[in-house]
Amino acid sequence: MNVVNESPRRKELTRLAAQLFVQEGFDRTTVRMLAQEMGIKSGSLFHHFRDKQEILAAVIEEGTQNALMLARQALEECGDSTSERLHAMARAHLQTLLTDRNAHVVALYEWRRLDPAARDHLSHLRDAYEALWEQVIDEALQAGLIHGDRFLVSRFVMGALNWTVRWYDPEGPRKPEDLAHELVAMIAPATHVQPGQSTKV
Amino acid sequence: MNVVNESPRRKELTRLAAQLFVQEGFDRTTVRMLAQEMGIKSGSLFHHFRDKQEILAAVIEEGTQNALMLARQALEECGDSTSERLHAMARAHLQTLLTDRNAHVVALYEWRRLDPAARDHLSHLRDAYEALWEQVIDEALQAGLIHGDRFLVSRFVMGALNWTVRWYDPEGPRKPEDLAHELVAMIAPATHVQPGQSTKV
DNA sequence: GGTTTACACTAGCGCTTGCTTGGTTGATCT
DNA sequence: AGATCAACCAAGCAAGCGCTAGTGTAAACC
């Protein structure tokens, strides 16, 4: 059984699984549905994954790794100002929801279906991501850009962002950039944003 | 089959079902588990509900009706100022999450498990609740209390609030009142809050 | 006093589930 | 040419699923 490695085939299967998990939910997605989507028979599935749980864990790990990487990259590439860093984080978050939507939706909705071992492992990844947010929010608090309780503000912001998967329509007129702008404007109204952009209301 | 009426027995069963749906998720909760929790045999369950779907719909309807009622009541009882109305809505929302937690978590997490007919019926209820929010946010926008896009701001606020079920600990030191205060302070920092309370930071 | 109603029971049908088993294929390596 | 190995398949098992049929019983109603 090809349980340990990270073959390209396994990656492709993980991507397909994410799509099905979003459409049907984890519990309603049967191994036979997964196999069919992948163009193989259900028995063959267990050559790539130890069990159904491991497919879920693979989907979530993939998505979270990706988000973490993109957020770190966004922070490195943006300017030093606190306002720019807030923007960069919000934009990166929303862009991953756009480009890597399935894995993220699964991570948000099916987290509780993970068994304790997988949950423990993956929560470290998630904590690393949330730590990035808390750090940037800390900076914004110290700079007087936003006000309030560190813990509560970061939870509220994460909530507002994560909730977007429920209503955001990538085909609509609003771009991730617009949402990020609006969110930062909402919590830090006095902010001067990136050069070249006016503070729209 | 006692499918139509709203017997007290049925209400009690709905409450128990909500608890199990939160613990296990809808799909993982079997009719046998539900029956055992209710102290009856699985066959007897179908005297009270047509099928398993109907139990889910009952749970969600109960919770949403409740939230809508409490929000309307809160708006009637609070003062006329926009700031007070914002506060009242946030406080009411968080208090329902505290007192009627199970039904709300089910409504948030298991919405997609509803069949189309039930979803259609219940979405009207939910829309009525969200309309209350949009109305209050509209007032706040017009009063210049907060700024931004009407649609986006209300979605962000709903997200921040709904997300609280993921991290809020009712046993902890923070009261719903505190969260409501902090949220309003975050999006409307210049607000003068209720008499007798200082703007804490 | 007979009928209806509400609520519960027992027993199990028909089907689906995650997963296993034992074996085949075709490419790659030595 | 033989060995190795990932990838796949056909067949099916044991368990569990939602739900039904038919029955019992005590209280409520006419």
Residue B114 within any structural domain of the chain:
yes
Q: Domain of A165?
A: 53-187
Residue B66 inside a domain? The answer is yes
pLDDT averaged over chain A? 89
Residue B189: closest CA among A189, A154, A10, A116: A189
pLDDT computed for residue A190 by the predictor:
65
Whether chain B has a CB inside 8 Å of the CB on A141: the answer is no
Residue B81 reports pLDDT greater than 90: yes
- Chain B CB within 8 Å of residue A124 CB: no
Q: What average pLDDT does range A106-127 have in this prediction?
A: 93
Q: Max CA-CA distance within chain B?
A: 59
Q: How many angstroms separate the CA of residue A46 from the nearest CA in chain B? A: 22
Residue A131 counted as domain residue: yes
Residue B15 placed within a domain:
no
Q: What is the pLDDT of residue B15?
A: 94
Mean per-residue pLDDT, B55-76: 95
Per-residue model confidence (pLDDT) at position A189? 72
| pLDDT at residue B1 is higher than 60 | no
Q: How confident is the model at residue A112 (pLDDT cuts 50, 70, 90)?
A: very high
Confidence band (pLDDT; 50, 70, 90) for B8?
confident
Confidence band of B199 (pLDDT split at 50, 70, 90): very low
Query: For strand D, is any atom closer than 7 Å to the CB of A9?
Result: yes
Q: Is residue B75 part of a domain?
A: yes
Nucleotides of chain D in contact with protein CB (under 7 A) are 6-12, 16-22
pLDDT more than 90, % of chain B: 81
Tens of pLDDT, residues B15-53: 999 999 999 999 999 999 999 999 999 989 999 999 999
User: Residue B12 and residue B134: Cα distance in Å, rounded?
Assistant: 33
Q: Please answer whether residues A87 and A180 qualify as being in contact, where contact means their C-beta atoms are separated by less than 8 angstroms.
A: yes
A79 touches chain B (CB under 8 A): no
Interval A89-97 mean pLDDT: 93
* Residue B82 is assigned to a structural domain of this protein: yes
**CATH number of the domain bearing residue A183:** 1.10.357.10
pLDDT at B200 over 50: no
Q: How far is A74 from chain B (nearest CA, A)?
A: 22
Please determine, for residue B65, whether its predicted confidence score (pLDDT) is greater than 80. yes
The tally of domains found in chain B comes to: 1
Q: For chain A, what is the HEC assignment?
A: CCCCCCCHHHHHHHHHHHHHHHHHCCCCCCHHHHHHHHCCCHHHHHHHCCCHHHHHHHHHHHHHHHHHHHHHHHHHHCCCCHHHHHHHHHHHHHHHHHHCHHHHHHHHHCHHHCCHHHHHHHHHHHHHHHHHHHHHHHHHHHCCCCCCCHHHHHHHHHHHHHHHHHHCCCCCCCCHHHHHHHHHHHHCCCCCCCCCCCCCC
- From the CA of A16 to the C1' of D7: give the distance in Å: 18
Residue A7 in this model has a pLDDT that exceeds 80:
no
Cα A122 to Cα A113, B105, B115, B148, B154, distances in angstroms: 13, 23, 32, 36, 31
Average pLDDT over residues A34-46: 92
End-to-end CA distance of chain A: 57
Tell me what the mean pLDDT of segment A66-86 comes to: 94
Residue B30, number of CB atoms within 10 A of its CB: 13
Residue B45 lies in a domain: no
For B140, residues 6+ apart whose C-beta sits below 8 A from its C-beta are: B82, B83, B85, B86, B146, B188
Judge whether B158 is closer than 8 Å to chain A, CB to CB. yes
Residue B119 in this model has a pLDDT that exceeds 90: yes
With 60 as the cut, is the pLDDT of residue A67 above it? yes
Is strand D within 7 Å of residue B41 (CB)?
no
* Chain A nearest CA to B176, separation (Å): 12
